[in-house]
Amino acid sequence: MLSAAAVMAPAAATQKSSLEVLLETLKKRDEQPKDAPPTLPARPTCRGRLPTTRRPSLPAGFKLENGMATVAATEVAVVDKKADAKMEIAGLEAKEEKPVKGCIFGTKRKFPNTEALEESPYVDEFHEERKGTAVCKDPPSVSSATIKTNGKPACTNIMDYVLQKKLRVWCSSPNAKWELGQIQSISGDDAEILLANGKVLTVSPEQLLPANPDILDGVDDLIQMSYLNEPSVLYNLQLRHSHDLIYKLHSMGSLQSCNTSKKTNDDPHVYAVADLAFNEMLRDGVNQSIIISGESGAGKTETAKIAMQYLSDLGGASGTESEVLQTNVILEALGNAKTSRNHNSSRFGKLIEIHFSETGKMCGAKIQTFLLEKSRVVQRAQGERSYHIFYQLCSGAPPLLKKKLFLKSASDYNYLKQSNCLKIDGVDDSKKFTVLVDALDTIQISKEDQMKLFSMLAAVLWLGNISFSVIDNENHVEVVSNEGLATAAKLLGCTANQLVTAMSTVKIRAGNDSIVKKLTLTQAIDARDALAKSIYANLFDWIVEQINHSLGTGRQFTWRSISILDIYGFECFNKNGFEQFCINYANERLQQHFNRHLFKLQQDEYLEDGIDWTPVEFVDNTNCLSLFEKKPLGLLSLLDEESTFPKATDFSFANKLKQQLSGNSCFKGEKEGTFKICHYAGEVTYDTAGFLEKNRDPLHSESIQLLSSCKCELPKHFASVMVADSQNKSSLSWHSVMDTQKQSVVTKFKAQLFKLMQQLESTTPHFIRCIQPNSKQHPRLFEHDLVLHQLKCCGVLEVVRISRTCYPTRITHQQFAERYGFLLLRSIASQDPLSVSIAVLQQFNIPPEMYQVGYTKLFFHTGQLYMSERARIHFDNLVKRWRAAVLIQKYTRRRLAANMFNDQLSHIIHLLQSVMRGCLARRKYKCLQNEKESKASHNIVQGDTRKNNSESRICHEMNGHYPHEPVITELQGRITKAEAALRDKEEENVMLKRQLEQYERKWSEYEAKMKSMEEAWKRQLSSLQLSLVAAKKSLAADDATTRAAWTDFTPTHAQYDSEDTLSTGTHTPEVIESRHHNHNPEAKVSAGNSDRRVNAVNHLAKEFQDRRQVFEDDAGFLVAVKSGQVGSNMNPDEELRKLKDRFATWKKDYKSRLKETKVNLNKVGTHDEKSRKRWWGKKSSK
Q: Tell me if 301 is assigned to a ligand binding site.
A: yes
Residue 726's pLDDT is 66
pLDDT digits (tens, 9 = 90+) for 753-786: 999 999 999 999 998 888 888 888 888 888 888 8
Window from 40-44, 84-88, 576-580, 1099-1103 with minimum mean pLDDT: 84-88
pLDDT digits (tens, 9 = 90+) for 502-548: 988 888 877 777 788 889 999 899 999 999 999 999 999 999 999 99
pLDDT at 891 over 90: yes
pLDDT digits (tens, 9 = 90+) for 479-497: 998 899 999 999 999 999 9
Residue 598's pLDDT is 78
CA-CA-CA-CA torsion sign (826, 827, 831, 837) = negative
132: number of Cβ within 10 Å: 11
Residue 267's pLDDT is 62
Provide the CB-side half-sphere exposure for 297 (13 A, CA): 20
pLDDT at 960 over 60: no
pLDDT at 958 over 50: yes
* Residue 104 contacts residue 67 (beta carbons within 8 Å): yes
DSSP state for residue 822 in the 8-state scheme:
G
Residue 604's pLDDT is 84
pLDDT at 556 over 80: no
Window from 7-11, 655-659, 771-775, 944-948 with minimum mean pLDDT: 7-11
Which spans in 244-320 are helix H?
A: 270-284, 300-314
- CA distance linking residue 384 with residue 575, whole number of Å: 14
* 816 or 55, greater pLDDT: 816
pLDDT at 130 over 70: no
* Residue 1175 contacts residue 1049 (beta carbons within 8 Å): yes
Shortest CA distance to 229 belongs to which of 158, 292, 299, 278?
Answer: 158
3-state SS class at 364: strand
Q: Tell me if 973 is assigned to a ligand binding site.
A: no
Burial string for 689-706 (b: 16+ CB within 10 Å, else e) reads bebbbbbebebbbbbbbb
Residue 1018's pLDDT is 78
* Residues ≥6 apart with Cβ < 8 Å to 1055: 1063, 1064, 1066, 1067, 1068, 1071, 1075
- CA distance linking residue 49 with residue 53, whole number of Å: 12
Q: Give the pairing of strands 764-771 and 254-258.
A: parallel
* Residue 619 contacts residue 796 (beta carbons within 8 Å): no
- CA distance linking residue 635 with residue 472, whole number of Å: 41
pLDDT digits (tens, 9 = 90+) for 680-707: 888 899 999 989 988 988 888 888 889 9
Residue 678 — pLDDT band, cuts 50, 70, 90?
very high
Q: Tell me if 1061 is assigned to a ligand binding site.
A: no
Q: Tell me if 300 is assigned to a ligand binding site.
A: yes
pLDDT at 84 over 60: no
* 509 beta partners: 514
- CA distance linking residue 292 with residue 794, whole number of Å: 12
* Residue 325 contacts residue 514 (beta carbons within 8 Å): no
Residue 24's pLDDT is 63
89: number of Cβ within 10 Å: 13
pLDDT at 1028 over 90: no
pLDDT digits (tens, 9 = 90+) for 245-263: 877 555 544 565 665 433 4
What's the mean pLDDT when you consider all of the chain? 75
pLDDT at 628 over 90: yes
- CA distance linking residue 447 with residue 620, whole number of Å: 51
Q: Tell me if 298 is assigned to a ligand binding site.
A: yes
Residue 801 — pLDDT band, cuts 50, 70, 90?
confident
Residue 254's pLDDT is 58
Residue 557's pLDDT is 67
CA torsion, ordered 1154, 1158, 1163, 1167, to nearest 10 deg: 110
Window from 158-172, 330-344, 1025-1039 with minimum mean pLDDT: 1025-1039
Residue 14 — pLDDT band, cuts 50, 70, 90?
very low
* Residues ≥6 apart with Cβ < 8 Å to 773: 241, 258, 259, 260, 781, 782, 783, 786, 787
pLDDT digits (tens, 9 = 90+) for 1123-1147: 666 666 677 777 777 877 888 888 8
pLDDT digits (tens, 9 = 90+) for 200-241: 888 888 888 888 888 778 888 777 777 878 888 888 888 888
Q: Which of 105-109, 176-180, 377-381, 969-973 has the highest mean pLDDT?
A: 377-381
pLDDT digits (tens, 9 = 90+) for 264-295: 444 678 888 999 999 989 988 899 999 998 88
Q: Which helix (H) or strand (E) holds 1073?
A: helix 1069-1079
Residue 81 — pLDDT band, cuts 50, 70, 90?
very low
* 808 or 196, greater pLDDT: 196
% of the chain exceeding 70 in pLDDT: 73
Q: Tell me if 970 is assigned to a ligand binding site.
A: no
How far are the Cα atoms of 247, 260, 616 from residue 231, in angstroms, in the given order?
Answer: 18, 21, 21
pLDDT digits (tens, 9 = 90+) for 1046-1075: 444 444 443 333 333 333 343 444 443 444
* Residue 255 contacts residue 246 (beta carbons within 8 Å): no
Shortest CA distance to 424 belongs to which of 399, 392, 402?
Answer: 392
Segment 821-829 mean pLDDT? 75
pLDDT digits (tens, 9 = 90+) for 846-878: 888 888 888 888 888 766 776 777 777 888 888
* 964 or 360, greater pLDDT: 360
Residue 486's pLDDT is 93
3-state SS track over 375-420: HHHCCCCCCCCCEHHHHHHHHHCCHHHHHHHCCCCHHHCHHHHCCC
Segment 565-571 mean pLDDT? 84
Q: Tell me if 176 is assigned to a ligand binding site.
A: no
Residue 957 — pLDDT band, cuts 50, 70, 90?
low
Strands (E) located in 750-879 = 764-771, 809-812, 851-853, 857-860
CA-CA-CA-CA torsion sign (340, 343, 347, 352) = negative
Residue 649 — pLDDT band, cuts 50, 70, 90?
very high
* 1106 or 3, greater pLDDT: 1106
Segment 926-954 mean pLDDT? 78
1020-1029: long-range pairs with CB below 8 Å, 24+: 1020/1147, 1021/1104, 1021/1108, 1024/1104, 1024/1150, 1024/1154, 1025/1104, 1027/1154, 1028/1097, 1028/1100, 1028/1101, 1028/1104
DSSP state for residue 229 in the 8-state scheme:
-
* 688 or 1001, greater pLDDT: 688
Window from 305-309, 1096-1100, 1122-1126 with minimum mean pLDDT: 1122-1126
Shortest CA distance to 582 belongs to which of 564, 567, 565, 597?
Answer: 567
pLDDT at 72 over 50: no
Order of strands across the sheet that contains 667-669: 667-669, 674-679, 682-687
Q: Tell me if 294 is assigned to a ligand binding site.
A: yes
**Helical packing angle, 300-314 and 270-284, nearest 10°:** 50
Residue 58 — pLDDT band, cuts 50, 70, 90?
very low
Longest dimension (CA), the chain: 176
* Residue 1012 contacts residue 1139 (beta carbons within 8 Å): no
720: number of Cβ within 10 Å: 14
